Amino acid sequence: MFKLTRSLSTRNITTLEEFVFALLSGIRSSVLRNSKGRGSNHKVLERTWQMEVYRVASSLVSSSTCVSLDVGHMFGTTGMVDFYVNNTSQWIIEIRRNNSELKEHCNRFDDGGLYALIPRKGVAILNFLDARKNPLRFELLPDVWYIHCSPDFDRAEVFRQNQATKAVVFACE
């Protein structure tokens, strides 16, 4: 079980996996429960997830590292990734919700894809799933983190291709 108890920096975090688990542990369950950023179906909007992920990701990096938003144009592409962890990490974080256009999104990293020109050492596509979605009913794609949230957003199970399922507890205030 992963739980964030204090701010970390990339000096302590050396892998994309550590970064993502620290990020997930810092997500505030109260924001997700109480947010008015919901669609007509009452589901938390992708933008709400993006803002919370950005808040936590920015708190995890050292002063010499930046979490950049909407990166793409400076690398000569029209596609823009949600988040890019600069400096030596070169990690890309993408946010999806409930498998929305997931395969198409993964293809953007292929040769000739919208994100192919963006330098990277790692990619994590965070696919936040509502409690009613069963992640085991889907093909698990490479680089995709299937984050199956509990109904009250206090915890989640993380499913990944060729990895053991892990539990994460979201931050509580």
Residue by residue, DSSP assigns 92-135 as EEEEEETTTTHHHHHHTTSTTSTTTTS--SEEEEEEEE-TT--G
Band (pLDDT 50/70/90 cuts) for residue 173 is: low
User: What's the pLDDT score for residue 7?
Assistant: 45
Each residue of 139-157: pLDDT tens digit? 899 999 999 999 999 999 9
Q: Model pTM greater than 0.85?
A: yes
In degrees rounded to 5, what are phi and psi of residue 34? -100, -5
145: three-class secondary structure by DSSP: strand
Which residues on adjacent β-strands are paired with residue 18?
A: none
Domain ranges of the chain: 16-169
List all residues 6 or more positions away from 121 whose beta carbon is below 8 Å from its beta carbon.
Answer: 16, 89, 90, 91
For residue 38, count other CB atoms closer than 10 A to its CB: 12
Q: Under a CB-based contact definition with an 8 Å cutoff, are residues 115 and 92 in contact?
A: yes
Each residue of 65-100: pLDDT tens digit? 899 999 999 999 999 999 999 888 999 999 999 998
Band (pLDDT 50/70/90 cuts) for residue 4 is: very low
